[in-house]
Structure 1
C-alpha cells in the first residue's frame, strides 16, 4: 500500500477548505488543518524558538495549502522543509513567497484565480463607517449610551487616492459618482494622461462640467495637504514600503480620514500610531497591519482610541478579500491543482 500524501492546510480561519479537502480519498491523502497563524519566520521580532516551532509544524508535509500572505515562505524556511513537494496558494500573486527558492528546489507553486470587488466594497464601507462614526456609536448604544460626536458629510469633499490602479480607480469612481466627491490622485509614476485613461475606463468623462479633471493628478504633498479622505491603493514593493511616514501624516488636515486596505507596511506603523495618539487627524480606518494577526498586546488593540484627544480608529482583520464565494472558488482550484499535480498534469496558474 502506498503512503498517503501528507497535506497541511494553513490559516483557513473560516473552515471553508475543510469539506473540500475532507472529501478526498483518506487512503491517498492525510490532511491536517492549522487555523492558528504563527509569527512569520522572517519577521524581525520572531524568536528562534517560534521559528523552530513553525518548522516542526510544517516539516512533515509533502503539500502545503496557504491562504494569501498569512504564512510567508522565505528562502530560509523553504530550506528547512525537505519533504515539501508542492505549494498551493491563492490569488495570482503572493509577495510572501520566495519563488526563486521554490524554483531552485523544483517545488511547483500554484495560485488560484477568481475574486470580486470585495476589497473595493470593504474600502468604501470603511470610509463611510469612519465618516459616520458607525463603530463608536454602535458601541455607545450597546453599552448604555447614545449619540457621541457629530458625523461628517463626504459630499463635495476631496478624495485623495494614493495609487490609481484597478482598486484605486474603482474606489475613486464610487466616491465620485455616489457621493459627489472630487478626486485627486498621486503615485510615483502616475501621469495625467494615465489618469484620464482610467477615468474613461471607469465610464466617467475625462473632465467635469467645470472643466476640472475627473481624476486630477497632483503632487504627493498636495494630496496629503488637501484631501479630506486619503485612501491607500499601492502594491507593496521595496520602493513603496514606508512611503507614507511622519512627514506625510503631518501634512494632513486635522479633519482628514486615512484609510488603508492595501498593505500595512506601506505606512510607517510607528509614525501612524504616534500621529493618531496625538489626535493629528480625525480618524483612521485600517484593514491591514505590519504584523498579522495583530498580537494581543499590540498598541492597536490596547489604546483607548477616540478618548483623551486621540483620533478615532476603526480596525478590521484584513477582511478586504475575505468573501465567501471568493474563498470557496480558491479552495476548489487548489483541489483541482492537487489532483493535476498527482496526475502529472500541468498546473493551472503556476506562479513561476
Structure 2
C-alpha cells in the first residue's frame, strides 16, 4: 500500500469505446489522459513508444491482454505506482517484475454495478446463464453455418447475388470441446438443449467422472457429455471449439497433426486465445480448404496489424472473423472500470486495495 503524492496523473489505455473516463471523472485529484490505440509491446518500437507515452504517469488503467507490460517496459516507468487491469488475471503483465519495481497490480472480479442508475439497462452485466462469451461463441458459429458474412457482403455489392451456397445444419452433429470448464460447459449445454447436438470433450485432466459432474452441474443427465481421447476428439468432431486458458502448457496445443485429423466437413471455433493453435498450420489448412470453415474471435497479435494474413481473402475454407468481442459488452466493461476507479480512490486515501495480483 502506497501513500500517493499530489499531482497524480492517470493514463487510460485500450479503451476503444471511450467509456472509462466517466468512471474516474469524479476524482478531482487526478489528471486523466486517454490513449485508446494499443501499442505492441512485443516489438522494440512499441516498447520505445510506450515508454515515451507513459513515463509521466503514476497510475495506468489497462484492459486485460491488450497493452502488455513486460519487465523491459516496467523498468523504464519510474513514476508508475499502480497498474490497474481488468479480470482476475492478465498473462501479459510480468507480475514478478512489477513486484521488484514496487508497482502494485490490481484486477477486477465483475458482477453487478453498484450504481446502475448512472447507466442504461444495457450497462448491467449479463447473468452467468447469459454469459456474453457463450453468446458470442454461438453468434460466430451460427454466422459461419448460415454464411451470414459472405451473403451479406454479396447482397450489398452484387445486384445479381442470391443463394450462392448451402447453409450447414447443426442438429444431431457432434460438438467437440477442447476443455470442459465453465465456458465449455455453458457451450455444451446450449449445444444439447438448443440444437440437439452430441457433446464430446477432451483436456489433459478430464475423465468421464468429471464430464458427468459438469453435465449434472448444468442440469443435464449423467453421461450427456462424453470424455474422449485427444485423437478421438479431433477425428469425430463436426464442430471443434477451444475452451482453454492460454498457458505454457496449452500454447500450441492444436498443431498441424491435430488439424490434419479433422474431417473435411468440420468447423473450427476459437474464442479463447489465438496462441492455443499453431497459426501457420491453421492458415495453411484454411487456404487449402482442408476443413469446411473456421470462426475466430482471437488472434496471435491483437489488434490485427494492417498486413496480417488474417485480413486476406485468400481462403478456400469459409472464414468468419471478429475483433475479440466475446467479453466486450457495456455491462461487463462498465463494471470493470467501476472497480478500477474504486481502487484508485482507496489508493489515493492510502487504504488497502482490492483484488491485488502481486
Residue aligning to 1:210? none
Conservation of the 8 A alpha-carbon contact between 2:27 and 2:345: no
Q: Is 2:246 aligned against 1:236?
A: yes
Counterpart of 1:184 in 2: which secondary structure?
A: strand
- After superposition, the C-alpha distances for 1:17-50 in whole angstroms (9 at most, x for unaligned) are 022223331xx211110011111x2x2xx2x333
Report the 3-state secondary structure (helix = DSSP H, G, I; strand = E; otherwise coil) of the residue aligned with 1:100.
helix
Matched with 1:132 is: 146
Distance (whole Å) between structure 1 residues aligned to residue 14 and residue 225 of structure 2: 38
Where does structure 1 differ by over 3 angstroms across 4 or more consecutive aligned residues? none
Q: Secondary structure at the match of 2:226?
A: strand
Q: 1:140–1:147: 8 Å Cα contact kept in structure 2?
A: no
Does the CA contact (< 8 Å) of 1:136 and 1:148 recur in 2? no
Instruction: Say whether 1:311 aligns with 2:317.
Output: yes
CA offsets 1:110-166 (integer angstroms, 9 cap, x no match): 111115411111111111111111111111111122222101110000000000000
Alignment match, 2:118: none
Are the structure 2 counterparts of residues 345 and 3 from structure 1 closer, same or farther at C-alpha, using a change threshold of 3 Å?
closer
- Give me the CA root mean square deviation: 1.2
Q: Which consecutive unaligned segments of at least 5 residues does structure 1 have?
A: 207-212
Residue 84 of structure 1, CA deviation:
0.3
Offset of residue 104 of structure 1: 2.1
Structure 1 residue 3, shift from structure 2 partner: 4.0
Partner of 1:74: 70
CA distance in 2, matches of 1:64, 1:187: 36
| Cα distance in 2 for residues equivalent to 1:113 and 1:184 | 30
Which residue number in structure 1 is paired with residue 32 of structure 2? 31
- Structure with bigger RCO (C-alpha 8 Å, 6+ apart): 2
In the superposition, the TM-score normalised over structure 1's length comes to 0.93
Question: Residues 161-200 of structure 1: matches in 2 within 5 Å?
Answer: 161-200=177-216
Count of residue correspondences: 334
Corresponding residue number in structure 2 for 1:123: 137
Structure 2: runs of 5+ lacking an equivalent: 112-125
Counterparts of 1:82-101 in structure 2, within 5 Å, are 82-101=78-97
What CA distance in whole angstroms lies between the structure 2 residues aligned with 1:316 and 1:122?
10
Q: What is the deviation of 1:258?
A: 0.1
In 2, Cα distance between equivalents of 1:253 and 1:244:
15
Residue 299 of structure 1 deviates from its aligned partner by 0.9
2:8 paired residue number: 5
Is contact 1:243-1:266 (8 Å) kept?
yes
Corresponding residue SS for 1:96: coil
Q: Tell me the distance in 1 between the aligned counterparts of 2:312 and 2:262.
A: 25
Conservation of the 8 A alpha-carbon contact between 1:156 and 1:180: yes
Inter-partner Cα distance in structure 1 for 2:275 and 2:324: 13
TM-score (norm 2): 0.91
